């Protein structure tokens, strides 16, 4: 199995080293994305997963914080077999945070659609 780690804000691909002991028989790699908006970062994450899928059938995703949000937005259905999303927030804070993010994201989509931007 191929393990792909997607870091959170101010993180790095090097954090993937932490997961190697948990997956001793698998290759663990980190993705160092270089964009910071959902519609740009989703492209980077999707490209990384597409590349891995050409080499390996079984892919596991580990994503931390905003990296988890970006990964959920990357259209990975059917490409990964397992996903672990890690949040630094407590459950009550997390539900509020996710609700706020979803509201902001939907609002941005409406603004872009009205402005004539292509859909994301």
- Same-domain pairing of 38 and 54: yes
- Same-domain pairing of 94 and 84: no
pLDDT at 110 over 70: no
Q: State residue 118's pLDDT score.
A: 56
- Same-domain pairing of 93 and 46: no
Stronger pLDDT, 35 or 114, i.e. the higher one: 35
- Same-domain pairing of 82 and 101: no
Distance CA 73, CA 76 (A): 8
- In sequence order, what are the residues at sequence separation of 6 or more whose Cβ sits closer than 8 angstroms to the Cβ of residue 82? 60, 61
pLDDT at 104 over 80: no
Number of domains in the chain: 2
User: What is the chain's alpha carbon radius of gyration, rounded to the nearest angstrom?
Assistant: 15
In terms of residue numbers, what domain contains 70?
2-88
pLDDT confidence bin for 120, thresholds 50/70/90:
very low
- Same-domain pairing of 14 and 59: yes
- Same-domain pairing of 67 and 111: no
- Same-domain pairing of 73 and 119: no
Q: Rounded to 5 degrees, what are φ and ψ at 99? A: -60, -45
């Amino acid at each position: 199995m191929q393990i792909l780690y997607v870091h959170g804000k101010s993180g790095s691909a090097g954090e993937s080293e932490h997961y190697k002991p948990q997956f001793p028989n698998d290759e663990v790699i980190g993705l160092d994305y270089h964009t910071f908006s959902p519609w740009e970062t989703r492209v980077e994450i999707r490209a990384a997963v597409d590349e891995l899928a050409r080499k390996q059938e079984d892919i596991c995703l580990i994503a931390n914080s905003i990296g988890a949000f970006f990964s959920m937005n990357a259209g990975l259905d059917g490409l990964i077999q397992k996903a672990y999303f890690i949040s630094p927030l407590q459950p009550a804070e997390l539900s509020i945070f996710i609700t706020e993010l979803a509201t902001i994201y939907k609002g941005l989509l409406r603004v872009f659609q009205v402005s004539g931007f292509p859909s994301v």
